[in-house]
């Protein structure tokens, strides 16, 4: 008896779901073990494999399911490969290994391509990164200078206010002294 995986390998379909779909669609031409109760294991007879052989051949020619049903109803069957299911298990393991090896090679190639692209980007952006660091240092220096100038400005404004106040006081004292000398102002203390 053949399993779904065996049928997938024999008929070179990408997914075991395809075999399950064929078994459901063409159930009336298959043995009872090909479409078991829910939870049961699908097992295909040599005759089931002949049905699948015809389905596979006609599907590859873009034949519709309606036409495949008509061919099966008329008694047509395909030629199933003469492969023992036990031999398929070894083939399946080898095929899986081959698929994994191919996928590994493709993944390595992609990883190498991505690494090369990353290296190129790093190389391209290194001068920009260095310029960014230089500009950041300049910004920090300018920020320090701005803070120094702001502090000097505050100090100068405070000094201006103090000097203006002292000037005002001196002016008032000068006027008062002049008035005292002229006799136009008398101090209460006198």
- Residues 139-163 have pLDDT tens digits of 999 999 999 999 999 998 999 899 8
pTM value > 0.85: no
| Residue finishing a domain among 83, 99, 114 | 83
Question: CB–CB of 99/29 below 8 Å?
Answer: no
Instruction: Determine the pLDDT at residue 152.
Output: 93
Domain range spanning residue 102?
85-190
Alpha-carbon span 8 to 110, nearest angstrom: 28
Token digits of residue 140:
């920090």
- The residues, any chain, with a CB within 8 Å of residue 7's CB and separated by 6 or more, are 13, 19, 44, 49, 52
Residues 165 and 146 in one domain: yes
Do 41 and 96 belong to one domain? no
Residues 66, 101, single domain; the answer is: no
Q: Do 108 and 187 sit in the same domain of this protein? A: yes
| pLDDT band of 70, cuts 50, 70, 90 | very high
Do residues 183 and 89 both lie within one domain? Answer: yes
Given a cut of 80, whether residue 187 has pLDDT beyond it is: no
């Amino acid at each position: 008896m053949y399993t779904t995986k065996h049928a997938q390998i024999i008929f070179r379909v990408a997914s075991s779901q395809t075999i399950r779909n064929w078994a459901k669609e063409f159930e009336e031409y298959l043995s009872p073990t090909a479409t078991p109760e829910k939870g049961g294991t699908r097992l295909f007879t040599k005759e089931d494999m002949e049905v699948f052989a015809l389905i596979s051949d006609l599907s590859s020619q873009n034949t519709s399911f309606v036409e495949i049903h008509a061919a099966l109803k008329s008694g047509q069957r395909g030629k199933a490969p003469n492969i023992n299911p036990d031999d398929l298990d070894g083939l399946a393991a080898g095929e899986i290994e081959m698929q994994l090896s191919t996928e590994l090679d493709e993944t390595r190639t992609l990883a190498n391509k991505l690494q090369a692209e990353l290296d190129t980007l790093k190389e391209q952006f290194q001068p920009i990164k260095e310029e960014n660091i230089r500009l950041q240092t300049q910004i920090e220096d300018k920020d320090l200078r701005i803070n120094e100038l702001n502090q000097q400005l505050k100090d100068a404004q405070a000094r201006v206010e103090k000097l203006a106040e002292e000037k005002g006081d001196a002016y008032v004292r000068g006027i008062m002294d002049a008035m005292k000398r002229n006799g136009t102002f008398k101090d209460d203390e006198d």
